[in-house]
Structure 1
């Protein structure tokens, strides 16, 4: 599939992007509060987001065949076998028709990602969103995009903003391993031994996406190549659930501050789950040894306290690896 970046210099762009007061993309790391943020934005009267949180539009436009391949495969079946969404709903049986529409539009647009991205504009600027002050979407996978794609996204309109929400890299890695094991083994089989084995296998996997997702310096460096720092807001999962941080988010997007239910953290880990050993945490920290100093230098006192405890494990992890 043609890379999204090949059309970055094409002057033709859907007019709706140009007239949007604020166009934004939440590219936060997975398991870092983006589901909570999506709910908040859906409820905010001045913010418009698609019915479904993760369209994966820009990943698919880059040619990511593995960005939930089930969507692509079943979308193709739906097109060839039926004029309705029967096949599609076989996989997302519990989801709303609005989600079907959102994904269908995103996939249709990504098949032809050349400007003016009209189908994508349909997704962001629905009839219900005409009165909104800020239009955008949330997709954690966007943290893995190429710098050229960030450039194209930043050129869609006159005021494009990016929001990157991050979580302690070791904890984010562990959360990803747990999620994978739940899907493959079932929640009841995610034991301490299973987690330990999953950690080792994931760390040793060639070009591990789990490690890439925890290496925030790569996303930050790629993003800041083409986007002014004033148009990027960085948040931390551990300190985000606070009215002051929510107000900072609203100010950044140019919308009124709305009081949020900061006590409701979606997908917060269950306390009864099997614990991760200190040795496994140290092993992960050793693989992420360059991330913590970068983040500390970049954000200083804003780094949450929990991150310091994980950083302290780096030396232990290095000894274990040696």
Structure 2
């Protein structure tokens, strides 16, 4: 009966004529792998902070199971949660072996107002990994990504001035693309994570340290996850985009002044030295 109820719940809102392959995949997943499924760990951010390179490393570990693709966006699927119409998480994995730790990387989760709370309800024992990057460099990196995608036509100066104006006026809203400054306001995001998960289940990493010494950072991550270390062969990179120009000094000064309170608070909360973020 539990299998039947799970099957009905997973497929009730799918139109078989519109998407027959997805329909039958959901049936297969629920029949072959009935019962509950829980993610063991998730890397939740931040965007433009080395998470694609980290994803490549984690896929090499035999004790870890990663989804078919990076960024499955399960916990920020607002429509799916509202309509109680989420896919079976097993469908994202080729290997169905509970001897492995199941994880995923979606760097937008930490920015989402609801994803972290949903993760806690899904598995209160889940381990969380967060990579934080200098918010000034992160903003410019995201801007270059969006212009490369042709999703952004404004100048970087225009973007950050408009966003800072909205933030100060209290009118800035959650936005997946136009969030160059907003995503860098780490204090609220850190508080959201630590409100839902105890300190021992959360690992905060500094992107600049990861980039400088990937081997040591990976050893730290493996220890946190409770899996053995594996040989480190060579550094991995991903999603490198050539910038059309360097960040101008006026833009850098504006962001440096805006983010200074955030950087000081991050240093305090995480006991970090972020002097390089203030340069």
Q: Same fold (TM over 0.5)?
A: yes
Q: What residue number does 1:135 align with?
A: 102
Partner residue, 1:222? 192
2:113 equivalent in structure 1: 146
Tell me if the contact between 1:23 and 1:161 (Cα under 8 Å) persists in the aligned partners.
Answer: yes
CA, structure 1 residues 127+59, in 2 after alignment: closer, same or farther (shift >3 Å)? closer
**Distance of aligned partners of 1:235 and 1:195 in 2 relative to their CA distance in 1, 3 Å threshold:** same
d(CA) in 2 for partners of 1:127, 1:184: 33
- Kindly state the Cα deviation for residue 204 of structure 1 after the two structures are TM-superposed: 4.2
142, 165, 190: which one aligns with 1:176: 142
Q: How many residues align?
A: 235
Runs of 4+ residues deviating >6 angstroms: none
The worse-fitting range, judged by mean Cα deviation, of 201-210 and 126-135 is: 201-210
1:242-281 residue pairs with structure 2 within 5 A?
242=213, 243-261=215-233, 263-268=235-240, 270=242, 273-281=244-252
Q: Which deviates more, 31-40 or 205-214?
A: 205-214
Name the SS for the 2:40 alignment partner. strand
* Counterpart pick for 2:65 among 26, 29, 48: 48
Q: Distance in 2 between matches of 1:29 and 1:295?
A: 14
1:172 aligned counterpart, secondary structure: helix
Residues 262, 200 of structure 1: alpha-carbon distance in 2 compared, 3 angstrom cutoff: farther
Where in structure 2 are there 5+ consecutive unaligned residues?
1-33, 173-177
**CA distance 1:57–1:182, change in 2 (3 Å):** same
1-side partners of 2:88 and 2:186: how far apart? 27
1:231-265 Cα deviation digits (max 9, x unpaired): 00001111114212101101111211123456332
- For CA contacts below 8 A with separation 6 or more, give which structure has more relative contact order: 1
Q: Which has the higher helix share?
A: 1
Superposed CA RMSD in Å reads: 2.9
TM-score relative to the length of structure 2: 0.73
Residues of 2 paired with 1:282 and 1:46: CA distance?
Answer: 45
Structure 1 residue 292 corresponds to structure 2 residue 263:
yes
Contact 2:57–2:236 (CA under 8 A) maintained in structure 1: no
Contact 1:134 1:254 in 2 (8 A): no
Q: How far 1:38 sits from its partner (Å)?
A: 1.1
The 5 Å alignment of 1:199-238 reads 199-204=160-165, 207=172, 209-238=179-208
In the alignment, structure 1 segments of 5+ residues that lack a partner are 1-12, 64-108, 310-322
Give the C-alpha shift of residue 269 in structure 1: 5.2
Which residue of 2 is the match for residue 103 of structure 1?
A: none
